[in-house]
Amino acid sequence: MSDSLTIRRPDDWHLHLRDGAMMQAVLPETARHFARAIIMPNLMPPVVTGADAAVYRDRILAALPADMSFQPLMTLYLTENTDPDDLAAAHASGLITAVKLYPAGATTNSASGVANFDNVRAALERMAEIGLPLCVHGEVTAPDIDIFDREAVFIDRVLDPIRQATPGLRVVMEHITTSDAVAYAREAGDDLSATITTHHLVINRNHILVGGIRPHYYCLPVAKRESHRLALLAAATSGDPRFFLGTDSAPHPDTAKIAPCGCAGCFTAPNTMSILAEVFENADALDKLEGFTSLHGPRFYRLPVNTDTITLTKGAPANYPKTIAVNDEQITVFDPEFPLHWRVSG
């Protein structure tokens, strides 16, 4: 097997950049390897209108180092007060690429999310009409549902009914974590796809809980059993165009991660491509890496693939920084707990 692999420059179809000093610190870690990224809108306050998205996009571009090329693909945060005309105008202008659905209380900064799905019917119908994708955080938040079952229950109780009631709605099941979600995506038509994160290809729930609580592996949706990880791995490495990369790279200061009520999220932007190359090689699927990172996402979003390339080379293990500094705080970089012999070299 070759020790060099050249692929189209990848895209990240699920990314948290935050804002302010945090954004300035983490944006270069993504722009170094990725051409584009779907930018999550769950700021405080959230990005809910076209005007909000335009201002946030300008802040991102202002923070981008002058020697880097990167296109933020903006999204709106769906609320029960979302104006269908506003989202349609933002889409028509090219400002936004998708709309994000957070069930209220599902994850970080999701308090403004949807509780009554009847109240977003008009927005969803307009999105189906104009072909604007809905990116879904697929978990129910009912207190009687076990946290490890929330994704599967969401598919049955929320996602499938939404799709049945809204023909033509294009949906991305984001950061799927279960064999249930893999099976649902495989059985769906061309109007549904699913993203898989780097860290969910690596960790299962033992990484969070065995040997003590390990907060830097805590994410939402939470990692599941090993059987589910293997289902995700099989989907990612299959070459099926319905599955593509969305890192959900989610930086938090270490003080917030290790707090008594720690934040959910894994910061994978710096070393994602190295991890994925290692994972795909171990699965004897390096030839499928370009599809997963660079081809399947543009296909679903109806965007051109990138014309430039990156080259990964294999050699001695790469040494990534353990943390990234943000003012007087540190952000811990995700540790896959295995050597990374592949690195982006050009």
Where does the pLDDT of residue 320 fall: very low under 50, low under 70, confident under 90, or very high at 90 and above?
Answer: very high
CA dihedral 8, 99, 262, 36 (to 10 degrees): 20
Class of domain 4-344: alpha beta
Q: What is the pTM of this model?
A: 0.96
15-35 pLDDT per residue, tens: 999 999 999 999 999 999 999
What does the pLDDT read at residue 114? Answer: 85
Q: Where are the domains of the chain?
A: 4-344
Q: Report the Cα 34 to chain-centroid distance in Å.
A: 13
- CA-wise closest residue to 298 among 7, 13, 6: 13
pLDDT of residue 106: 62
In angstroms, the CA 298 to CA 11 distance is 8
The pLDDT of residue 123: 97
Tens-digit pLDDT profile for residues 88-114 = 999 999 999 999 999 876 666 566 778
Over the chain, what is the mean pLDDT? 96
pLDDT at 46 over 90: yes
Catalytic residue among 52, 248, 284, 287: 248
Grade residue 248 by pLDDT with cuts at 50, 70 and 90.
very high
Reading phi first (left if > 0) and then psi (alpha if -120 to 50, else beta), residue 151 is in: alpha
Task: Write down the pLDDT at residue 290.
Answer: 98
In one letter, which amino acid is 269? A
- Convert the pLDDT of each residue in 128-178 to its tens digit: 999 999 999 999 988 899 999 999 999 999 999 999 999 999 999 999 999
Q: Which amino acid is at 28?
A: P
Residue carrying structure tokens 């889409």? 91
The answer to whether residue 240 scores a pLDDT higher than 60 is yes
pLDDT tens readout for residues 202-238: 999 999 999 999 999 999 999 999 999 999 999 999 9
Q: Note if 248 is an active site residue.
A: yes
Q: What is the pLDDT of residue 214?
A: 96
Helices and strands in the chain, H and E counts: 13, 13
pLDDT value for 346: 75
The DSSP H or E segment spanning 309 is strand 309-314
Residue 312 and residue 341: Cα distance in Å, rounded?
Answer: 10
Side chain identity, residue 133 = P
- In terms of C-beta density within 10 A (0-12 exposed, 13-18 middle, 19 or more buried), how is residue 258 classed? middle
